[in-house]
Amino acid sequence: MENSNSYSPYSSSSVDSTKPSPSESSVNLSLSLTFPSTSSQRETSQDWPPIKPRLRDTLKSLRLRQRGYNTALFVKVYMEGVPIGRKLDLSTFSGYKSLLENLSHMFDTSVICGTRDSKNHVLTYQDKDGDWMMVGDIPWDMFLETVRRLKITRPERC
């Protein structure tokens, strides 16, 4: 099959993060919530493989357990500048959206992924290598397996 076939799993009809958009320049590093265009995106999206949602959730929790996690996945969450942190069970969220909603509610401010601006708190995480990364770049399942702690940064620090 030629790679120009637009139905290969290596591109998505709605997001193509491999091509730079014309508006990007070296100064304006606007990140948006994109997933790498690999086949893993297709496989972890909600409509493939064709498994009913309830069964999918059950199988997911099995996989997490097999990899040594309890289904409860508590991580520490700190708001930059606030010494006392919170603890959050990430396994109760279905994805980034519900995580952000919950954090926004918990810390009583708007928390977002990715886009840096002067107004919003941006969510970052420490992965299993100890590096601090922007939340939202990798598929949710992968994120659950690598995240160790969360930090909500103050806007200007990014």
Partner 1 sequence: MNYFPDEVIEHVFDFVTSHKDRHSISLVCKSWFKIERYSRQNVFIGNCYAINPERLLRRFPCFKSLTLKGKPHFADFNLVPHGWGGFVQPWIEALARSRVGLEELRLKRMVVTDESLELLSRSFVNFKSLVLVSCEGFSTDGLASIASNCRHLQDLDLQENEIDDHRGQWLSCFPETYTSLVTLNFACLEGETNLVALERLVARSPNLRSLKLNRAVPLDALARLMACAPQIVDLGVGSYEDEQDSESCLKLQAAIRKCTSLRSLSGFLEAAPHCLSAFHPVCHNLTSLNLSYAAEIHGSHLIKLIEHCKKLQRIGDKGLEVVASTCKELQELRVFPTDLQGGGNTAVTEDGLVAISAGCPKLHSILYFCQQMTNAALITVAKNCPNFIRFRLCILEPHKPDHVTSQPLDEGFGAIVQACKNLKRLSVSGLLTDQVFLYIGMYATELEMLSIAFAGDTDKGMLYVLNGCKKMRKLEIRDSPFGDAALLADVNKYETMRSLWMSSCEVTLGGCKRLARKAPWLNVEIINENDNNRMEENGYEGRQKVDKLYLYRTVVGTRVDAPPFVWIL
For residue 69, what are the contacts with CB-CB under 8 A and spacing of at least 6? 144, 145
Element (H, E) at 79: strand 74-79
Least Cβ distance, residue 110 to partner 1 (angstroms): 25
- Count Cβ atoms below 10 Å from residue 147 Cβ, excluding itself: 18
Q: How many residues bind partner 1 (CB under 8 A)?
A: 32
**Residue 43 in contact with partner 1, rule: CB under 8 A:** yes
**Residue 38 in contact with partner 1, rule: CB under 8 A:** no
**Residue 55 in contact with partner 1, rule: CB under 8 A:** yes
> C-alpha dihedral over 15, 17, 22, 27, to 10 degrees?
130
Kindly indicate which of the ranges 21-29, 40-48, 82-90, 99-107 contains the residues binding partner 1, using the contact rule CB under 8 A: 40-48
**Residue 119 in contact with partner 1, rule: CB under 8 A:** no
Output Rg (C-alpha) for the chain, integer angstroms: 17
Phi, psi of 134, deg, nearest 5: -75, 135
Instruction: For partner 1, give the closer residue by CB, 19 or 54.
Output: 54
What residue type is 103 in one-letter code? L
**Residue 98 in contact with partner 1, rule: CB under 8 A:** no
Least Cβ distance, residue 40 to partner 1 (angstroms): 6
**Residue 50 in contact with partner 1, rule: CB under 8 A:** yes
